[in-house]
Structure 1
């Protein structure tokens, strides 16, 4: 195969191919973000100067300091857009065959929420790539919660959202210990040793992400219970919370997030994209 044939094979030949490509770019972008964020926190847990307890946006901001950082930021923004498109495709086309029952509709709504979860980060990375600076979304989250708390029954709504996020964390823990996440990677071309390594990375990674989501949900529950928007936190605040339990706990969760990022990069290379 010559260079022209290779180039043609990489170009999507249909809308379906395009969606698959965008999904893979999305998995890769998420993987890079989690590896970077987890590594910075792990270095901080080890007492290294280069480390930092950052949220996703601050971790992405660090890419401006590397050669070609603006290009990489643009690729991450584009990749995250791809992930959002894939999640919406899953919801609209029911690629996972969840059906139209209450449980199925709940999962399809979750796909939309999961995609939108990265929309702020995608916009932030795009603005950094184009302008070299961007306003962080942390204060925006607190402002939004503050507005909702002023609604009639707004504190109960925030509390309910927090409980849902805790539930999502529990679901991630279930995926980690049941091994259901393995269905997202096509490991047929991997050796048995590689398959075991990918499985362990996923198991550790989903466990760490479950912990982070559970704590984020706890912050929301606290904000709703106390009617206090400032109780809402981002991943950086989660790291601060974990740091109070000691460097061992912080380091373990940080390493787990690196493992999650690696798993997402493997999924980008060997994805299982059903229904398209």
Structure 2
């Protein structure tokens, strides 16, 4: 089997899993160094990309990351609409596909940030205010606090789903690996999904607090989740564990880039795949 991909969408997907894996390796690695007092920074994905940008060949590397993130966004959007991963039209399947669609939107936004840096359009811009800006915009709309609260509940639901996946251990089901390799990839993936689940629970809690007080300043992303962990008793230990989990999630993403089953329609087949998916709802 050609792991590089049989068609354009599959190649974009594999590039995307690789780019996402690299970003989370950096996020987890820097946060782990911070927990160990070795000078790292417990930040989010955007801060990780900015860290790459400031290093050697930063413009080129960030540009490649941007391309990969756009590839991941394309795959997630195509996969969720065409049901390429065969989640179906049950309530659970629809929720998973909507979550994947949302992750595609997030990846596209992060890709725009990376592309802006690579093109010299956002070198002096600070990170971390985007979530608060969007929350402030939404809070100002009719029923805004309720909508923000629902988003917070959705993020918490995603965190619970990650934790359940980590507990059940079905993280290698879509990987083309033999049993010997799955024995070490499985705990790696479980550790990564568990760490992501904890982060989602904390982030979702921040969003619900923002909805309750109608204050966008209460919204914090992954950097805020890391900070919340560090402020707890034995905070450095907690941060270190969750940071190491994000590093594991990044390594798991690199494994997905090469070994994940991806049954994607090609570009000229996407329209037909969308029509078939639409008929499945009838």
Does residue 212 in structure 1 map to residue 199 in structure 2?
yes
Rounded Cα–Cα distance in structure 2 between residues aligned with 1:10 and 1:244: 43
Given that 1:183 and 1:272 are in contact with CA atoms closer than 8 Å, whether structure 2 keeps it comes out as no
Aligned equivalents of 1:101 and 1:200: distance in 2? 29
Q: Say which SS state the counterpart of residue 181 (structure 1) adopts.
A: coil
Q: Cα RMSD (Å) of the superposition?
A: 1.9
- CA–CA distance in structure 1, aligned partners of residues 21 and 64 of structure 2: 13
1:234 corresponding residue in structure 2: 221
Partner of 2:16: 26
Q: CA deviation at 1:64?
A: 2.1
Structure 1 ranges of 4+ moved more than 6 A: 9-12
**Equivalent residue, structure 2, for 1:221:** 208
Give 1:247 shift: 0.5
Consecutive unaligned residues in structure 2, runs of 5 or more: 266-282
What's the CA shift for 1:101? 4.5
- The alignment partner of 1:182 has SS state of coil
1:69 paired residue number: 58
Distance 1:53 1:123 in 2: 22
Distance 1:236 1:86 in 2: 26
- Equivalent runs, 1:174-253 vs 2, <5 Å: 174-188=164-178, 192=180, 194-245=181-232, 246-253=235-242
- Deviation at residue 80 of structure 1 after TM alignment: 0.5
2:37 aligned residue: 47
1:98 aligns to 2:80 (yes or no): no
Which residue of 243, 246, 270 maps to 2:259? 270
Give the direction of change, closer, same or farther, for the CA distance of 1:62–1:170 in structure 2 (3 Å limit).
same
Unaligned runs of 5+ in 1: 1-8
Match of 1:172 among 143, 159, 162: 162
TM-score w.r.t. the length of structure 2 is 0.87
Q: What CA distance in whole angstroms lies between the structure 2 residues aligned with 1:19 and 1:125? A: 21
